[in-house]
Structure 1
Amino acid sequence: MSAREGEVVMEVVYSRCAGLDVHKKTVVACAITPKPSGGCHKEIQTFGTMTSDLLQLSDWLTARECTHVAMESTGEYWRPIFNILEANFEVLLVNAHHIKNVPGRKTDTKDAQWIGELLMHGLLRASFIPPIEQRDLRDLIRHRTNFIRERATLVNRVQKVLEGANIKLAAVVSDVMGVSARMILDAIVKGETNPQLMAELASKRLKDKREPLIQALDGKVRPHQRFILAELLCNIDAIDETIERFNQQIKEYCSPFEQAVELLDTIPGVARPTAELIVGEIGTDMSRFPTAEHLAAWAGVAPGNCESAGKRLSSKIRKGNNNLRVGLVQAAHAATRTKGYLAVQYRRIAARRGKKRAIIAVAHSILKIAYYLILRQETYQDLGGDHFDKQKPEATKKRLVKRLQKLGYEVLLTELQTASPTLA
């Protein structure tokens, strides 16, 4: 930009562009085009959101030779507009927080005009919209996740009904929907009341808990509770079938990304469903992320960057891709139960900073590992549980000696001599 006679003149980046203010039933478009005599001409038009209306919007923008179109990411209402316009225009989906209008000028017309002016001067940063193949895969994975959450809700309701009937099954079994537990639940639904007979349905290791199981099944199940259990179990079976169909469909849509999914599956704590989730959210093209730290910040698993007057303020994680963050946190919890580098990292950080920060740190590490595995096309190589000890051997030695001394031992260290190979 340049200043002339006290006036600030901003550089025009896109001479023919448009801003859209999107709502459920209407779209207000402001097309900005150059005038032959200089300056710009702004034309505003309102369209509906039906497909035929959006096609008219596309023709209207094409007639004015617009090349770039910007709109806010308003709920799900931007999707049909993006589907129609993406083939003919460079569409920018921008964060509404970044383009707040001047206070006191809140109208649909001025919003569309403001978005168009910001776009014309190149002041908008577009959100990432993945290619159509990745969008399809991502939609399938997100809906599968929703069904998995619904199933968990139904299982909790089953547990609530059992507690109301004095059945303490969850106190003995680890999974109330496991094979043995499910056979017991089916027996309860059919009217069985004898705890000894129901305990005989236990299999494998649950047979060793026969006496506690008999006590847990000694309850008072009323007829209406049997009816509720039957309906809940029926819904759970239906959702299980739906999830399985989603798994088959996702496997088909994952074929272009199969190599990346297999690479991510080698990370401790990351099973195939989580690997599919990561690939569906970030894709396989890492060129749009300059570094792994940029990816972590985009996903919302990196510490916040807030500093003022030389003081470091809150380091709370920023908002990011919530679906990806939830999947990474679940993978981090699973990784803490392994014996490798990630589990040791969790224990080290949890001892100093707490469990919640430690889980986010492990999730951060998992995403960085995924970035490099996809970028380099290689499998995961664990650094080992003793990686941190090898980094600073002297500090490790002093710490262990100090712990033994506190226990009342006198420690004398003798370094082992490595035998030199003999020549035959």
Structure 2
Amino acid sequence: MHKHGLIKGSFIPPRNIRELRDLMRYKTKLVSVRSSEKNRIQNSLTVSNIMISNIVSDSFGKSASTIIKYAMEHPDEIDTDYTSFLHKSMLHKANEINMSMQGTISQEQASKMNVCFNHLSYVEICISQIDEAIFLIAKDFKSQIELFATIPSITTKSATAIISEIGVDM
């Protein structure tokens, strides 16, 4: 049947769609790596009996990260008041945060967390570089992305991901 043209060949998208697909899939892997590093840091905090994640909505937000890094650098300071590290919207949780930080970070856990934070920072840079590359290719499909984004719950990012997988000639 194929010999006589009765079976349609596989869809091979144009080069720019293939490149966009490759970048989008790589970004997904980088986001997964970022999540893994955050989980490792959270595990180290749990092992150290530090439960700041139970109090703050984002353990990797500015205030929480500053507190965690301070605790890593000063493991011998047991009764530290972390109120000065808090953003003013978090001041009402100061007592709870101070109580959640009563654990002790061992040197081994601090070393591991330091590596994880460094890797996390590097992965964030990589993700932003991939986003720039995706944006450059996605400019070719601006009108199609905008059209997709008119569908409820489809964002520009998800529209770009859909186009990277199925192309624009549907």
The alpha-carbon deviation at position 191 of structure 1 amounts to 1.8
1:200 aligns with 2:84: yes
Residue range with higher mean Cα deviation, 244-253 or 198-207: 198-207
Map of 1:250 onto structure 2: 134
Q: Give the secondary structure class of the aligned counterpart of 1:285.
A: coil
| Structure 1 position 144 matched with structure 2 position 33 | no
1:235 matched residue in structure 2: 119
Once residues 64 and 72 of structure 2 are traced to their aligned partners in structure 1, the CA distance between those partners, rounded to angstroms, is 12
Work out whether 1:274 is the aligned partner of 2:158: yes
- Quote how far apart the aligned CAs of 1:283 are: 1.9
Q: Is the 8 A contact 1:187 1:198 kept in 2?
A: no
Select the structure that is richer in helix.
2
Task: Check 1:135–1:203 CA distance in 2 against 1; reply closer, same or farther (3 A cut).
Answer: same
- Secondary structure at 2:85's aligned position in 1? coil
1:219 to 76, 95, 103: 103
Match of 1:291 in 2: none
- Is structure 2 residue 131 aligned with structure 1 residue 283? no
- C-alpha distance 194-127 of structure 1, shift in aligned 2 (>3 A): farther
Percent sequence identity over aligned pairs: 28
Count of equivalent residues: 169
Task: Give the counterpart of 2:18 among 128, 135, 147.
Answer: 135
Helix, strand or coil: the match of 1:181? Answer: helix
Say which one has the larger Rg: 1
Structure 1 residues 263 and 179: CA distance shift in structure 2, 3 A: farther
2:72/2:105 contact within 8 Å kept: no
Q: Distance in 2 between matches of 1:262 and 1:186?
A: 41
For the 8 Å contact 1:195–1:215, the answer to whether it is kept is no
| Partner in structure 2 of residue 182 of structure 1 | 65
Partner Cα distance (2:21, 2:64) in 1: 34
Which moves more between the two structures, 246-255 or 186-195? Answer: 186-195
SS of the residue aligned with 2:81?
Answer: helix
CA distance in 1, matches of 2:45, 2:83: 16
Cα 1:123–1:259, aligned 2, differ >3 Å: closer, same or farther? closer
The code of the aligned residue for 1:281 comes to E
Matches within 5 A, 1:373-388: none
Q: Is the 8 A contact 1:261 1:275 kept in 2?
A: yes
After TM superposition, give the deviation of residue 280 of structure 1 in Å. Answer: 1.1
Q: CA shift at 1:175, angstroms?
A: 1.5
The residue type paired with residue 226 of structure 1 is: A
Rounded Cα–Cα distance in structure 1 between residues aligned with 2:160 and 2:69: 34
1:132 to 1:159, Cα distance in 2 relative to 1, 3 A: same
Equivalent residue for 2:74?
A: 191
Q: So what's the TM-score if we normalise by structure 2?
A: 0.89
Q: Distance in 2 between matches of 1:128 and 1:202?
A: 54
Displacement of 1:249: 0.7
Relative to structure 1, is the Cα distance of residues 265 and 182 closer, same or farther in structure 2, using a 3 angstrom cutoff?
A: farther
Q: Label 1:277 to 1:165 Cα distance change in 2 as closer, same or farther (>3 A).
A: same
Superposition pairs of residues 345-356 of structure 1, within 5 angstroms: none
Q: CA deviation at 1:278?
A: 1.3
Correspondent of 2:9 among 126, 147, 162: 126
1:71-130 CA distance string (max 9 Å, x none): xxxxxxxxxxxxxxxxxxxxxxxxxxxxxxxxxxxxxxxxxxxxxxxx325575533221
**How many angstroms does 1:266 deviate by?**
4.1
Q: Deviations over 1:294-345 (max 9, x none)?
A: xxxxxxxxxxxxxxxxxxxxxxxxxxxxxxxxxxxxxxxxxxxxxxxxxxxx
- Deviation of 1:196 (Å): 4.1
Inter-CA distance 167–128: structure 2 relative to 1 (3 Å threshold): same
- 1:198: Cα distance to partner? 2.6
Q: Which has the higher contact order (CA 8 A, sep 6+)?
A: 2
Q: Relative to structure 1, is the Cα distance of residues 267 and 217 closer, same or farther in structure 2, using a 3 angstrom cutoff?
A: farther
Distance in 1 between residues matched to 2:21 and 2:152, nearest whole Å: 23
Q: How is 1:12-411 mapped onto 2 (pairs within 5 angstroms)?
A: 119-120=2-3, 124=7, 126-192=9-75, 193-194=77-78, 196-286=80-170
**Deviation, structure 1 residue 264:** 3.0
What is the aligned partner in structure 2 of residue 352 from structure 1?
Answer: none
Q: TM-score, normalised by structure 1?
A: 0.38
Distance in 2, Cα, partners of 1:157 & 1:186: 15
- Give the Cα separation in 2 of the matches to 1:241 and 1:255: 21
